[in-house]
Amino acid sequence: MSTAAPPSESRVPSPESRPLIALLAGEDSGDQLGADLIAALRARYPHARFVGIGGKRMAAQGFESWYDIRELSLFGLAEVVSHLPRLLRLRKALVARLLAAKPAVVIGIDAPDFNLGVEQRLKRAGLRTVHYVSPSVWAWREHRAAKIGRSADRVLCLFPMEPAIYAKHGVDARFTGHPLADRFPLVSDRAAAREALQLPQDAPVLAVLPGSRGSELARLGEPFLDAARRVAAALPGLRVVIPAANPRMLERLRGMQAHDDALQLLDGQAHLAMQAADVVLLASGTATLEAMLAKRPMVVGYRVAPASYRIAKLLRLLKTDVYALPNILARACGMGERVVLAPELMQDDCTAAKLADAVLALFNDSERRGAIVAAFEQLHRALRADLDGNAAEVAAGAIGELIERERA
C-alpha cells in the first residue's frame, strides 16, 4: 500500500522553501536593482515573501512595501538634515518591525547613509544582512570598508576591483557584475540610434549631458553649452543633442539654450543620444559608465562647491587622481597606472574653452577614438561576472548561500 502524501498535501511548500526576505531600496535606481533581484531570487525560492521598502518596479514583482520609497529619496545635506527627525523615527520603527518578523536575510540596496545603520543594528541582533552596491571605497575613505563589514555579513559589489579592498579589512565581499553592463550590447548600433532620433547617418554628432540634478546643471550647464557652441562653430555640419534627465531639467535647459538652433534638446533618451554620437561631453558620475558601455569616446567635466573641493583637498579625502569610472576601471583592470581613456577637466579646468578643445581633439583623431572603443569593449566584458550577463542572478546566488548557511 502506498504511503505517499495526498496530492494536495504534497503541493504545500515547507517553511524552509518559503523564506521571508527583506529588501530596503532608497531611490529609483535601487528600485530597479531590487526588482531584478526579486525576480532572480523568486526563481530560487518560488514561494518566498518579499517585504521592506521599495518602489513600483519592486511592487510589480510581488513585493510588499511597508514604507513608501520616497521616504528615503533625499539629496543634499540640507534636505537630509531638515528631515532627520522623521528619518530617525522611520529607522527605529523599521528595525523593530524587522526584528519582530525575523527574515531569513535583510538586503540593503545602496542608500548607505540610511541602510548601513539599519543593517548594523540587525546584524548585532543576529539577523543575516547583505549590502548590495558598495559605496565608493576605492575613491575616498577606504577605511569605511571595515565599518561596512560591521553592518553587513556580505557586501555585493558592482565593480571588479572592490572585493580586494574589502578583503584587506576582513570583509566578505563578492563581485556580482554591474546591471548596466547587462543592458548595453557589446557592440552598439549607431545607425539604429541615429534613425530613432532622426539624425543624419553621415553627420558628426556630439551628445552633451551636463548632469541629472539641478545643482549640477547650475554649475555645468553654461560651460557645457558654450563648449558645444564652440565645437559647432569649428566643425561644419555638427549635430548636437542634449538629453534632459526629466521634464524640470528640460525646461531649465530650454531657458539656457536661448533658441540656439545648433543645439537639439531631447526629453530623456540619454542612452540613444550616446549611442548615436561620435563623441560625448558629460558630467562625471554614472553617465560616464553608460557612455563607456555605449562605446563612445568622451570628455568628462565636473565642478563641486568651491568650499567642498578645498576641504576634500585639505583633508586628503580623495584616494585617486582620476575621477571618471572608465579611467578608474582601466587602471583596476591592469591597463596601466597612467592610463586616461576619458579626458577629465575638473573644477577650475572645467571651462568652455578647455572642454571644447578636448572634444575637438577627439573628433580630429579617428585612430584614438578607435583605440578607446576597443578598450571600452574590454572593460564592458570585465563588468560582467557572468559571461551570459546576468548580474541579478549572480547576486541572488550570493544571497542564497547566506540563506542556506543559516539553515545548516
Burial class (CB in 10 A: 0-12, 13-18, 19+), 245: buried
Q: Identify whether the C-beta of residue 210 lies closer than 8 Å to the C-beta of residue 283.
A: yes
What pLDDT score was predicted for residue 335?
A: 85
What pLDDT score was predicted for residue 140?
A: 65
Whether the model clears a pTM of 0.95, i.e. scores above it, the answer is: no
The total of other beta-carbon atoms located within 10 Å of residue 187's CB is 10
> Do you know the residue count of the chain?
408
What distance in Å separates the CA atoms of residue 289 and residue 363, rounded to the nearest whole number? 20
What pLDDT score was predicted for residue 78?
A: 44
Q: Identify whether the C-beta of residue 128 lies closer than 8 Å to the C-beta of residue 402.
A: yes
Span(s) in the chain for CATH 3.40.50.2000: 17-178+386-407, 190-382
What distance in Å separates the CA atoms of residue 182 and residue 260, rounded to the nearest whole number? 37
- The CA angle 407-124-50, to the nearest 5 degrees, is 55
What would the CATH number be for the domain defined by 17-178+386-407? 3.40.50.2000
What pLDDT score was predicted for residue 1?
A: 41
What pLDDT score was predicted for residue 385?
A: 85
pLDDT (tens, 9 = 90+) of the chain, 408 residues, equals: 444 444 434 444 455 568 999 999 988 889 999 999 999 999 999 999 999 999 999 999 999 999 988 777 554 444 455 667 777 888 899 999 999 999 999 999 998 988 999 999 999 999 999 999 998 887 666 778 999 999 999 999 999 999 999 999 999 999 999 999 999 999 999 999 999 999 999 999 999 999 888 888 888 989 999 999 999 999 999 999 999 988 888 888 888 875 677 789 999 999 999 999 999 999 988 899 999 999 999 999 988 766 666 666 665 656 567 888 999 899 888 887 777 899 999 888 999 999 999 999 999 999 999 999 999 999 999 999 876 779 999 999 999 999 998 666
* C-alpha cell at position 237: 555640419
What distance in Å separates the CA atoms of residue 358 and residue 223, rounded to the nearest whole number? 13
Indicate the class that CATH gives domain 190-382.
alpha beta
What pLDDT score was predicted for residue 28?
A: 81
What distance in Å separates the CA atoms of residue 342 and residue 323, rounded to the nearest whole number? 10
Determine phi and psi for 81, rounding to 5 degrees: -60, -40
